[in-house]
Structure 1
Amino acid sequence: MSQVKEEFQQFYRTIAGSRFSDWLEILPAQIAAWCLQNRTELDKWQKLLGKLPSLKSSGIDLLNQVRVGSETDVDDYTRKQIIGLLQQFKPWRKGPFHLHGIHLDTEWRSDWKWDRVLPHLSPLRDRNVLDVGSGSGYHLWRMRGQGARFVVGVDPYPLFLMQFLILKHFIGDADVYQLPLGIEHLPPLKQFDTVFSMGVLYHRKSPMDFLSQLKGLLRKGGELVLETLVVEGDEQRVLLPGERYAQMRNVWFIPSPAALEIWLQKAGFSDIRTVDISTTSTDEQRSTEWMTTHSLQDFLDPEDSTRTIEGYPAPIRAVVVAQA
């Protein structure tokens, strides 16, 4: 059985008999359909995944970063082999990762976002945690580093799942999973203690429906951690970009923090708090050797870095915490 299919089978075994067992009524059929739809890409990537060497690690750090082993764990030949395989899975957007002395310097400094979010969370120890829009899974490992019992990410893009499986190959943690699904594929489980959604809301055509879906995944009293683009203004201010925002095509609504809090209240959340507002810098999002195409510096007005090239306010991101 391929590594990809075995990963899904292990997830089914993990949730069978748990509070999440009802999910099995629909999940295997959804995954089977996804595998069939992406069969050509999966066959190619599975062959590459199978070439990853099995290594003994001198240590793993998920608390302070995502670091596996050190450069002394592998010889130069093996390190070059790993680098060559990792390069087949570019672009690497969320990270960074440190694998046996290899610095996988991703487009986003996702560790900076985590440092902004972490002080405002309820403790994750022994919690069941979901990350909606998990990308390559960087934050899943940081959640696990904080002691979360069961960590699940969902993101529909095949490449992100492959990148996650590469990290899981080296880390070897059985209780962290990623599923190739969008939130529209998830039933209202009402079981997760904490649900994260970071960098997704503005990509949804119906933000209110999205917030209601997030609430449906949380147990009563569970915590939502929402990170998203915002604009300055009062509760009336919501930006509706044209065809593109900072060269992104699928940006629908960017609210002010005050408007976002009202949206969350209308969706049934309580104890709503905007805990951080930060301007995205070109040090936090930039091109690297692992993501060589255009990045934030190319999407800002070269004459005025406070505006995008389309003339909108440059990216500002807020973190909001609320209770279901």
Structure 2
Amino acid sequence: MLNDTIINAERELYLTLLELAQQQPSAYEWLKQLPTWLGDIKDKANYAHAPAYQASVARLPNLTVNNVDLNSDTLTIETSLNESERKQAMALLKQLMPWRKGPFQIGGQIGDDESGIKIDTEWHSDWKWQRVAPHLGELKGRRVLDVGGGSGYHGWRMAGAGANTVIIIDPSCLFYHQFMAIRHFVGAADAHTHAHAHTHDRGRYRTHYIPVPLEALPAHSQLFDTVFSMGVLYHRQSPFEHLQQLRGQLVKGGELVLETLVIEGDANTVLVPHDRYAQMNNVYFLPSVAALVGWLEKAGFSEVRCVDVAVTSTEEQRKTEWMTYHSLADFLDPNDSTKTMEGYPAPMRATLIAKR
């Protein structure tokens, strides 16, 4: 028996945008484009794997979920899986590999992989969240946009921190379906609870996913109190355009959380890798923190501050059973882990917070 997870999630997204448009007319632009956005990601002509991914999500077993913890380092879904449900779910989730952002735990106890399913992702995304979360403005009751959100792990954590509406965007067909797989088990655990709720117009999910890149969104929507861009800027050929697009999504006084690769140096230091950087061929600009502060100010942000700088360790990003390709250890100089294979400084990430 197939489940309706994707259909339900997309209907909830539509209803959320409809409700939003009644207060913020710029959301009507989003509604107009939504059918195209959601249609394109399922189109086999665009994504050969789309039908297989959809089938994997649709065949996930319907379980009785006792509790969902969106505020724990491992996003935890408490449920009891019998052996056949566990095998079925495990096989279907493995068809959605590689899993890069997480971790997730479905059933069983944390640390007990026998009775449950632990999706041990390439990234310990919880570590990044631990570095970022203490510096954020209040997320409770706010509208949040997570740009380049991958599987949606951080988006769920934003909902766990009390955000009213979280919209994750990422153009990846795979990541969209990974989000839907987790959504299947989360169910309505992130729904709004209103004592006076009318069942037909409340109970909206709080966490949504639109499978598009930032530049596909209507510019200057000014819909969000907080916008996250984590691990995106260095993939952009035009960093200023990216910063301006982020700014356009923020309400006046809204908060940008920008996390990106940086290098040591002064306000004039920017590395433009000649070919690849840590084996990635789509890395364009790695500024120093001081340069990045200048970029944000030039793009019209104020109160810019750097709240964290961390060198990425091979414990934070590594190969796992759920991501079996090369990972960070393979991209560093085997004789000097402070350098990438190409001889550039090893990945170091900074988090900056700024106001519109």
TM bucket normalised to smaller: over 0.9
**Alpha-carbon contact 2:37-2:210 (below 8 Å) kept:** no
Q: Report the more deviating stretch, 8-17 or 242-251.
A: 8-17
1:310 aligns to 2:342 (yes or no): yes
Q: Deviations over 1:218-261 (max 9, x none)?
A: 00000000000000000000000011000001000000000000
SS of match in other structure, 1:58: strand
- Which residue of structure 1 aligns with residue 110 of structure 2? none
- Which residue of structure 2 aligns with residue 68 of structure 1? 77
Q: Kindly state the Cα deviation for residue 28 of structure 1 after the two structures are TM-superposed.
A: 2.4
SS of match in other structure, 1:35: coil
Q: Report the more deviating stretch, 147-156 or 49-58.
A: 49-58
Counterpart-to-counterpart distance in 2, 1:137 and 1:81: 22
**Alpha-carbon contact 1:90-1:290 (below 8 Å) kept:** yes
SS of match in other structure, 2:309: strand
The one-letter amino acid of 1:54's match is N
* Alignment partner of 1:166 out of 166, 181, 186: 181
Counterpart-to-counterpart distance in 2, 1:38 and 1:83: 27
Q: Kindly state the Cα deviation for residue 191 of structure 1 after the two structures are TM-superposed.
A: 1.3
- Which residue of structure 1 aligns with residue 171 of structure 2? 156
| 1:216-231 → structure 2 map (5 Å cutoff) | 216-231=248-263
**Alpha-carbon contact 2:278-2:331 (below 8 Å) kept:** yes
- Cα distance change, pair 128–99 in 1 and its aligned pair in 2 (3 A): same
- Which residue of structure 1 aligns with residue 321 of structure 2? 289
- Cα distance change, pair 29–82 in 1 and its aligned pair in 2 (3 A): closer
Q: Kindly state the Cα deviation for residue 4 of structure 1 after the two structures are TM-superposed.
A: 3.5
* Alignment partner of 1:195 out of 222, 227, 250: 227
- Cα distance change, pair 11–204 in 1 and its aligned pair in 2 (3 A): same
Q: Kindly state the Cα deviation for residue 5 of structure 1 after the two structures are TM-superposed.
A: 4.6
- Cα distance change, pair 17–61 in 1 and its aligned pair in 2 (3 A): closer
1:115 aligns to 2:123 (yes or no): no
1:186 aligns to 2:217 (yes or no): yes
SS of match in other structure, 2:227: strand
The gaps in structure 2 that reach 5 residues or longer are 108-115, 191-204
- Cα distance change, pair 76–30 in 1 and its aligned pair in 2 (3 A): closer
- Cα distance change, pair 34–105 in 1 and its aligned pair in 2 (3 A): closer
Q: Report the more deviating stretch, 2-11 or 121-130.
A: 2-11
* Alignment partner of 2:148 out of 112, 133, 137: 133
Q: CA RMSD in A?
A: 1.5
Q: Report the more deviating stretch, 41-50 or 108-117.
A: 41-50
- Cα distance change, pair 2–67 in 1 and its aligned pair in 2 (3 A): closer
Q: Report the more deviating stretch, 182-191 or 245-254.
A: 182-191
- Which residue of structure 1 aligns with residue 244 of structure 2? 212
- Which residue of structure 2 aligns with residue 264 of structure 1? 296
1:176 aligns to 2:229 (yes or no): no
The one-letter amino acid of 2:65's match is S
Q: Report the more deviating stretch, 31-40 or 91-100.
A: 31-40
**Alpha-carbon contact 1:3-1:46 (below 8 Å) kept:** no
Counterpart-to-counterpart distance in 2, 1:9 and 1:40: 24
- Which residue of structure 2 aligns with residue 4 of structure 1? 6
Q: Deviations over 1:67-114 (max 9, x none)?
A: 0005xx111221122111111111100001011121110000000000
Sequence identity, in percent? 52
TM-score scaled by length of structure 2 = 0.87
- Which residue of structure 1 aligns with residue 93 of structure 2? 86
Moved over 6 A (4+): none
**Alpha-carbon contact 1:95-1:104 (below 8 Å) kept:** yes
Counterpart-to-counterpart distance in 1, 2:141 and 2:90: 35
Q: Report the more deviating stretch, 4-13 or 194-203.
A: 4-13
Counterpart-to-counterpart distance in 2, 1:34 and 1:116: 32
**Alpha-carbon contact 2:97-2:322 (below 8 Å) kept:** yes
Counterpart-to-counterpart distance in 1, 2:316 and 2:342: 21
- Which residue of structure 1 aligns with residue 51 of structure 2? 43
- Cα distance change, pair 81–34 in 1 and its aligned pair in 2 (3 A): closer
Counterpart-to-counterpart distance in 2, 1:251 and 1:280: 16
- Which residue of structure 2 aligns with residue 300 of structure 1? 332
SS of match in other structure, 2:156: helix
- Cα distance change, pair 49–322 in 1 and its aligned pair in 2 (3 A): same
Counterpart-to-counterpart distance in 2, 1:25 and 1:158: 21
Counterpart-to-counterpart distance in 2, 1:80 and 1:4: 22
SS of match in other structure, 2:66: coil
The one-letter amino acid of 1:41's match is H
The gaps in structure 1 that reach 5 residues or longer are none
- Which residue of structure 2 aligns with residue 27 of structure 1? 34
* Alignment coverage as a number of residue pairs: 322
Counterpart-to-counterpart distance in 2, 1:41 and 1:294: 22
The one-letter amino acid of 1:109's match is H
Q: Kindly state the Cα deviation for residue 138 of structure 1 after the two structures are TM-superposed.
A: 0.4
TM-score scaled by length of structure 1 = 0.96
Q: Kindly state the Cα deviation for residue 9 of structure 1 after the two structures are TM-superposed.
A: 3.2
